[in-house]
A and B are shown apart, each in its own frame.
Chain A
Amino acid sequence: MNKLVKSLSLLLSLCLLLSAVPAVFAESDEVVDANLTCTLTLGNWPPDTAAQAEKDLFEGYKATMAKQYPNVTLVPDYYSYSLSNYVPMAKGGTAPSIFQPPFTDPQLLISQHLVGDVTDALKQFGVLDKFSPSYVEMLADENGRIYGLPRDGYVLGMHLNLDLFRQAGLVDDEGLPIYPKTLQEMAEYGKIIKEKTGKAGLVFPASETYGGWLFTNIAWNFGCVGESALEYQDEDGRWVCNFTSPECVAAMEFMRDLRWKYDILNVDATTTDWASAHTLLGTGEAAMNFAADDSVDQPTSNKGLPVEDFALIPFPAGDAGRYALAGGTCYMFAPNITADQGIALMAYLKVIGKLPFLDDQIIAGMRADYAAKRDRGAPVLPAISAWTDEEYNAAKQAIIDEYCNVDMRLYNDFFDSINEGTITLKSEEPVFAQQLYRELTAVIQRMITREGADVNKALRQAEESFQEYLDDEINDI
């Protein structure tokens, strides 16, 4: 994890030095390998109903591939991944060659042998050693074989509706928000906002699995890491969950207080999902929302909040920790791909700009992307890289800077906290995270719907239930 932080800080400092794109990048139209012969089915191809620009972009990728690898046939597939539809397809041998699961699933898919190995292909492209170590953890098996590449990543922080902060008087002389640095401050500021504006201080999407997902980050900041981690492997290799540590109990009591002591939550927290949380913040019904840097276009361009009324801050710290959850979407591959297909797939990912190489077409694509973002009123922000290739990262940042449309003072603390390592990035709980979230969400729901609910009892029940689950699913094999 530290390596990622270091690489990121390096990345940003380099950006300041470099302003032009170095000319080390290849032409995109030359034939690279005429002998490579195979067929790829490409999941997530834009359907007929997609925007024309997006369809053109992918047709462009296809044309480039046809020039570089004339004997690789690309078959567009409109498949969009979900765990429910993927498994039978992988078993039936009809999974597309490439598809895009979220970072919660790779370890499950890898352990069940439902995805293909691309380690050798990555080596052939000379990028295996530039792969960010924190992603290795998520996308490799215990032998270090790699089964996926990150498409994009995110770090959890907090979205603010500055309009409500201003109304509540929480701004300094320069008009910058006085924002919560700690969870305790969050509760207090939320209370001020609720009292002054009548709107929810914090929107907390506590439905299905989202609540538990956000709660894990809060729990880390209360100290649920290391010895007190929510789940860990004991010396016998058995997975154990621990929801009844004093740290976890304190974190859950804090959740309860948010509802009953500070009363800063939105009214329908138990049915609020990810999108409605963004809606409430974006339409001015809530002032704060735990959300990541990759979803900044949600409250702004999607839900109508002007970029000048929006800010992104680091995840508030707790007494015992300062963590931020990091994750994203990745590319993975069908379990039955051949060595040739593996190489062709990496070639395709190179063409669409997902390997650490830049060519004219990729740069043009990035520019078009950022210009479009700026036009529709979404913040154009620095990206978090999956590669430890400094030159590549710096060149990318230079392009982003050209299109920046926001007051970076509203974002600097977020990115600085990552670069300077004042916040520690942490990926999701390692095994069966979705089920863990589900159990914890139920506890949160009980806490915020029943005044005086017994925290210890609820957590103990959830712990027993999840432990049974772990025993059945993983400790038993």
Chain B
Amino acid sequence: MSQSAKRVRSHAKRSESFKSWLIMLPGLVLMTFFVWEPLFESIRMSLYKTRNVELVRFIGLDNFVSVVGKDDFMQALLNTFSYTFWSLLLGFALPVILAMLIGETRRGKGFFRTAVYLPNMLPGLAVIILWSAFFSGEKSGVFNIILMRLGIPAQTYLTHADWVIPIIILIATWKGAGATALIYMAGMAGVSPELYEAAAIDGATVWHRIIHILLPSIRKLAGTLLILQIISVFQIMYEPMVLTKGGPDNASLSLMQLMWQYAFGGSMNYGKASAVAVIVTLILLVMTAIYSYFNRKESDWD
């Protein structure tokens, strides 16, 4: 290849590359405006003493120290881990079980799939408001109506500090489990029926087939969904905001809700709100890093 041909090609390549960037530009501008710049701004604000939206002066990590030193932060942090724990307990295994159950049905599979997916389409806010009537402690609360029919006295639900987080997770699971189950079903469908057939002929019981063929087939998928679930439950905010307002006695206060309180709850302390936000982000980053470390061989992302 001659020098000039090379030059022409590299020139073409450069202009090609320029045009490619031009095509990506609108998307990049939007990402910058809606995601990156505000995130950068949050980090910056977290390092400043703020008076409403103004940066008064640089104070280093003082916001972080002050925020972390408070009882409500520790409570919110513990609660957020508790949300995660319950979410894994209730919300992680359930979709797998649902998927297995529906996968085994021989008739009406489409109907079952449709029915369990339905709650996922509903607006989250509407779902929370709807369920608040189920957990009302009055005699008109839906669960109390059912209990009293069964001869059990009416109970209160959201006044129990130990119950509120599982209840909120239960509601979130009701909404999300069906959709997740369908993802697992798709994963399980990847197993060739011949494999089960062959195992069956070899005398493997149904139980063995589940343990040795079915579950391993969704291992990687489960890992991915697990980390996504943790990321999303860590950001839980409006559910407790609407259902319990963080109560009783801060028992359901989440980190993101604490952030919202700092920003919009009457004190307008955006510096501290940002500090909480940055802490949440850091925790998520660390968790993701740990996940990708253990998962590095399987990850096809760089």
Contacts and interface: CB of A to CB of B under 8 A. Distances in A.
B139 to A, nearest CB: 9
B33 interface: no
Interface in B256-283: 261, 263-269, 272
Contacts of A209: 266
Contact of B268 (A87, A206, A207, A208): A87
B48 to A, nearest CB: 13
A472 B66 contact: yes
Given A267-B138, A268-B138, A465 B249 contact: no
A84 B263 contact: yes
Nearest to B141: A268
Contact of A87 (B53, B137, B158): B53
B71 A268 contact: no
B266 A285 contact: no
A229 interface: no
A60 interface: no
B159 interface: yes
A441 B138 contact: no
Interface in B22-42: none
Interface string A414-448: 00000000000000000011110010011101101
Main secondary structure of the interface of A (DSSP, over half): helix
B46 interface: no
A113 to B, nearest CB: 9
B159 A449 contact: yes
A269 interface: yes
A88 B248 contact: no
A270 B138 contact: no
B265 A268 contact: no
A468 B66 contact: yes
A50 interface: no
Contacts of A112: 51-52, 268
A366 B246 CA distance: 42
Contacts of A285: 138
Contact of B245 (A90, A208, A269): A208
Interface in B54-94: 54, 66, 69-72
Contacts of B54: 91
B247 A267 contact: no
A238 interface: no
Interface of B: 51-54, 66, 69-72, 132, 136-138, 154, 156, 158-161, 243-250, 261, 263-269, 272
List 4 A-B pairs, minimum CB-CB distance, nearest first.
A434-B266, A84-B264, A267-B137, A445-B248
6 contacts: A83-B266, A84-B264, A87-B52, A87-B53, A271-B247, A468-B66
Given A91-B52, A271-B245, A285-B138, 13 more contacts: A87-B53, A91-B53, A207-B244, A268-B156, A270-B244, A271-B158, A271-B247, A432-B267, A435-B267, A442-B250, A449-B160, A464-B71, A468-B66
